[in-house]
Amino acid sequence: MQKVLVQRVAALCLLPGAVWAQAQAPSDAERYYGWGPHMMGWGGGWYAMIFGPLFMILFLGVLVALAVVLARWLGGPWPGTYPPHQLPPSRTPLDILKERFARGEIDKAEFEDRRRVLGE
């Protein structure tokens, strides 16, 4: 029983080789101009040389852009985009006038006169 099984398996393994051996060889016209495998022959192969690198560069560009977008999304905004935590208080003209009076640069009469001009 086992011997018969081995013979059948061996016959099945040799069957593709026997079928391939009986196939007709392609003619020269079929070999060069037919639909068979060819490389850089008439009608095929050239487009892969042009579009292959272009699509590879396009794919790598999209991949790098996605990596940059993902990194910026995960990393949060850049430190330069935040406003300062506390802005320096803006000084009004009256504050400057009071500072000058406190330092002694102007006397009381001039301080009162300029304060009236400022409207306060």
Helix axes 93-103, 108-118, angle to 10 degrees: 180
Which pTM was predicted? 0.33
Q: Assess if residue 72 is contained within a domain.
A: no
The residue type found at 6 is V
How many distinct structural domains can be found in the chain?
1
Domain span at 114: 91-119
Angle at 114 (CA atoms; ends 112, 115), nearest 5 degrees: 65
Question: Where would I find the H helices in the chain?
Answer: 2-21, 28-33, 46-75, 93-103, 108-118
pLDDT single digits (tens) 47-61: 667 788 899 999 999
pLDDT single digits (tens) 15-48: 676 666 666 666 665 565 555 555 555 555 666 6
